[in-house]
Amino acid sequence: MEIKKKKVAILASGSGSNAENIVNYFRNHEQIEISLFIANKKDAFVHERAKRLNIPCYYFSNKQFRETQEVKDFLVSQQIDFLVLAGFLLKIPENLLKVFPDRIINIHPALLPKYGGKGMYGEHVHQAVVEAGEKESGITIHYVNENYDEGEIIFQAKCKVLSGDTPEQVAEKVHALEYEHFPKIIEKVVLG
Protein backbone atom coordinates (compact mmCIF):
# COMPACT_ATOMS: atom_id res chain seq x y z
CA MET A 1 0.00 0.00 0.00
CA GLU A 2 1.37 3.39 -0.96
CA ILE A 3 1.80 5.97 1.79
CA LYS A 4 -0.13 9.18 1.14
CA LYS A 5 2.51 11.91 1.10
CA LYS A 6 2.05 15.11 3.09
CA LYS A 7 1.73 17.97 0.62
CA VAL A 8 3.63 21.18 1.32
CA ALA A 9 3.21 24.54 -0.43
CA ILE A 10 6.04 27.07 -0.23
CA LEU A 11 5.20 30.78 -0.19
CA ALA A 12 7.94 33.13 -1.38
CA SER A 13 8.26 36.80 -2.31
CA GLY A 14 11.83 36.96 -3.56
CA SER A 15 14.58 34.92 -5.15
CA GLY A 16 13.49 31.59 -3.70
CA SER A 17 16.93 30.29 -2.69
CA ASN A 18 15.51 28.75 0.51
CA ALA A 19 12.61 27.31 -1.49
CA GLU A 20 15.07 25.64 -3.87
CA ASN A 21 17.09 24.23 -0.98
CA ILE A 22 13.89 22.77 0.53
CA VAL A 23 12.82 21.23 -2.79
CA ASN A 24 16.22 19.58 -3.20
CA TYR A 25 16.09 18.21 0.35
CA PHE A 26 12.66 16.60 -0.20
CA ARG A 27 13.27 15.57 -3.84
CA ASN A 28 12.89 11.81 -3.24
CA HIS A 29 11.28 11.86 0.19
CA GLU A 30 8.94 8.97 0.91
CA GLN A 31 6.46 10.92 3.06
CA ILE A 32 6.67 14.59 2.09
CA GLU A 33 6.16 16.28 -1.28
CA ILE A 34 6.78 19.92 -2.15
CA SER A 35 3.69 20.32 -4.32
CA LEU A 36 3.83 23.94 -5.42
CA PHE A 37 5.10 27.45 -4.88
CA ILE A 38 2.99 30.55 -4.43
CA ALA A 39 4.48 34.00 -5.03
CA ASN A 40 2.91 37.36 -4.28
CA LYS A 41 5.19 39.19 -6.72
CA LYS A 42 4.94 38.68 -10.48
CA ASP A 43 8.61 39.47 -11.08
CA ALA A 44 10.05 37.44 -8.17
CA PHE A 45 12.95 35.22 -9.22
CA VAL A 46 11.24 32.28 -7.47
CA HIS A 47 9.16 31.86 -10.68
CA GLU A 48 12.37 31.12 -12.63
CA ARG A 49 13.61 28.73 -9.97
CA ALA A 50 10.28 26.91 -10.01
CA LYS A 51 10.53 26.36 -13.79
CA ARG A 52 14.04 25.00 -13.42
CA LEU A 53 12.99 22.74 -10.52
CA ASN A 54 9.86 21.59 -12.36
CA ILE A 55 7.58 22.79 -9.54
CA PRO A 56 4.33 24.60 -10.38
CA CYS A 57 4.45 28.23 -9.26
CA TYR A 58 1.31 30.35 -8.93
CA TYR A 59 0.99 34.10 -8.57
CA PHE A 60 -1.58 35.69 -6.28
CA SER A 61 -1.60 39.43 -5.67
CA ASN A 62 -1.45 40.94 -2.18
CA LYS A 63 -5.06 42.01 -2.72
CA GLN A 64 -6.09 38.41 -3.48
CA PHE A 65 -4.37 37.27 -0.27
CA ARG A 66 -5.86 40.03 1.90
CA GLU A 67 -9.33 40.57 0.50
CA THR A 68 -10.52 37.31 -1.06
CA GLN A 69 -10.81 33.60 -0.29
CA GLU A 70 -9.02 32.68 -3.56
CA VAL A 71 -5.70 31.63 -2.04
CA LYS A 72 -7.36 29.57 0.70
CA ASP A 73 -9.75 27.94 -1.78
CA PHE A 74 -6.88 27.15 -4.15
CA LEU A 75 -4.73 25.56 -1.40
CA VAL A 76 -7.69 23.50 -0.18
CA SER A 77 -8.43 22.37 -3.76
CA GLN A 78 -4.80 21.22 -4.07
CA GLN A 79 -5.13 19.24 -0.79
CA ILE A 80 -2.17 21.05 0.78
CA ASP A 81 -1.31 19.91 4.32
CA PHE A 82 1.33 22.48 5.34
CA LEU A 83 2.48 25.95 4.33
CA VAL A 84 6.11 26.95 4.55
CA LEU A 85 7.09 30.61 4.28
CA ALA A 86 10.51 31.04 2.69
CA GLY A 87 11.14 34.75 2.38
CA PHE A 88 7.43 35.54 2.15
CA LEU A 89 6.89 39.17 3.14
CA LEU A 90 3.14 39.40 3.51
CA LYS A 91 1.20 38.94 6.73
CA ILE A 92 -0.76 35.70 6.54
CA PRO A 93 -4.51 36.45 6.50
CA GLU A 94 -6.87 35.02 9.08
CA ASN A 95 -8.66 32.74 6.60
CA LEU A 96 -5.39 30.81 6.05
CA LEU A 97 -4.58 30.72 9.78
CA LYS A 98 -8.00 29.12 10.38
CA VAL A 99 -7.59 26.45 7.69
CA PHE A 100 -3.97 25.65 8.64
CA PRO A 101 -3.81 25.93 12.44
CA ASP A 102 -0.24 25.10 13.59
CA ARG A 103 0.51 24.08 10.01
CA ILE A 104 2.18 27.28 8.78
CA ILE A 105 5.92 27.55 9.43
CA ASN A 106 8.17 30.56 8.90
CA ILE A 107 11.88 31.20 9.20
CA HIS A 108 13.24 34.50 10.50
CA PRO A 109 16.88 35.61 10.02
CA ALA A 110 17.46 36.59 13.67
CA LEU A 111 16.99 35.24 17.18
CA LEU A 112 13.40 36.18 17.98
CA PRO A 113 11.95 37.93 19.90
CA LYS A 114 14.77 40.35 18.98
CA TYR A 115 14.69 41.99 15.54
CA GLY A 116 11.23 40.80 14.55
CA GLY A 117 8.06 42.55 13.46
CA LYS A 118 6.86 44.54 10.49
CA GLY A 119 9.66 45.72 8.21
CA MET A 120 12.23 43.45 9.82
CA TYR A 121 13.36 41.15 7.03
CA GLY A 122 16.49 40.40 5.04
CA GLU A 123 19.21 43.05 5.11
CA HIS A 124 17.16 45.26 7.49
CA VAL A 125 17.57 42.60 10.19
CA HIS A 126 21.31 42.10 9.64
CA GLN A 127 21.89 45.88 9.60
CA ALA A 128 20.05 46.24 12.93
CA VAL A 129 22.01 43.35 14.48
CA VAL A 130 25.36 44.91 13.46
CA GLU A 131 24.33 48.44 14.54
CA ALA A 132 23.28 47.13 17.96
CA GLY A 133 26.69 45.52 18.45
CA GLU A 134 25.20 42.05 18.99
CA LYS A 135 27.68 39.23 19.66
CA GLU A 136 25.44 36.62 18.02
CA SER A 137 22.61 36.27 15.56
CA GLY A 138 20.99 33.28 13.92
CA ILE A 139 17.69 31.87 12.76
CA THR A 140 14.32 31.28 14.34
CA ILE A 141 11.88 28.78 12.87
CA HIS A 142 8.40 29.37 14.25
CA TYR A 143 4.71 28.76 13.73
CA VAL A 144 2.82 31.63 12.15
CA ASN A 145 0.05 33.41 14.03
CA GLU A 146 -1.83 36.68 13.47
CA ASN A 147 1.19 38.85 14.40
CA TYR A 148 4.50 39.20 12.55
CA ASP A 149 7.18 36.94 14.05
CA GLU A 150 5.26 36.19 17.27
CA GLY A 151 4.20 32.57 16.71
CA GLU A 152 5.49 29.79 18.94
CA ILE A 153 9.21 29.14 18.42
CA ILE A 154 10.03 25.67 17.11
CA PHE A 155 13.82 25.93 16.74
CA GLN A 156 16.72 28.39 16.93
CA ALA A 157 20.33 28.14 15.79
CA LYS A 158 23.04 30.71 16.52
CA CYS A 159 26.11 32.11 14.83
CA LYS A 160 28.77 34.48 16.14
CA VAL A 161 28.81 38.12 15.07
CA LEU A 162 32.39 39.37 15.13
CA SER A 163 33.20 43.02 15.88
CA GLY A 164 34.21 43.83 12.29
CA ASP A 165 31.37 41.92 10.57
CA THR A 166 29.34 43.77 7.95
CA PRO A 167 25.61 43.12 7.55
CA GLU A 168 26.52 41.11 4.40
CA GLN A 169 28.87 38.87 6.38
CA VAL A 170 26.21 38.30 9.02
CA ALA A 171 23.73 37.48 6.24
CA GLU A 172 26.11 34.82 4.86
CA LYS A 173 26.40 33.12 8.25
CA VAL A 174 22.62 33.25 8.75
CA HIS A 175 21.93 31.85 5.25
CA ALA A 176 24.24 28.92 6.00
CA LEU A 177 22.14 28.16 9.10
CA GLU A 178 18.91 28.45 7.08
CA TYR A 179 20.12 25.98 4.45
CA GLU A 180 21.37 23.54 7.06
CA HIS A 181 18.40 23.53 9.44
CA PHE A 182 15.19 24.67 7.73
CA PRO A 183 14.51 21.50 5.68
CA LYS A 184 15.22 19.21 8.65
CA ILE A 185 12.90 21.17 10.95
CA ILE A 186 10.16 21.22 8.29
CA GLU A 187 10.49 17.45 8.07
CA LYS A 188 10.19 17.03 11.85
CA VAL A 189 7.16 19.31 12.08
CA VAL A 190 5.31 17.85 9.08
CA LEU A 191 5.87 14.27 10.23
CA GLY A 192 4.83 15.28 13.75
Active-site amino acid positions: 108
CA–CA dist 50, 80 (Å, integer) = 17
- Comparing C-alpha atoms, which of 104, 60, 59, 62 is closest to residue 80? 104
Q: Is 29 helix (H, G, I), strand (E, B) or coil?
A: coil
| Number of neighbouring beta carbons within 10 Å of residue 86 | 26
**Which phi and psi (to 5°) does residue 156 adopt?**
-135, 145
Angle between helices 17-25 and 167-191 (to 10 degrees): 40
Look at strands 82-85 and 6-12 and give their pairing.
parallel
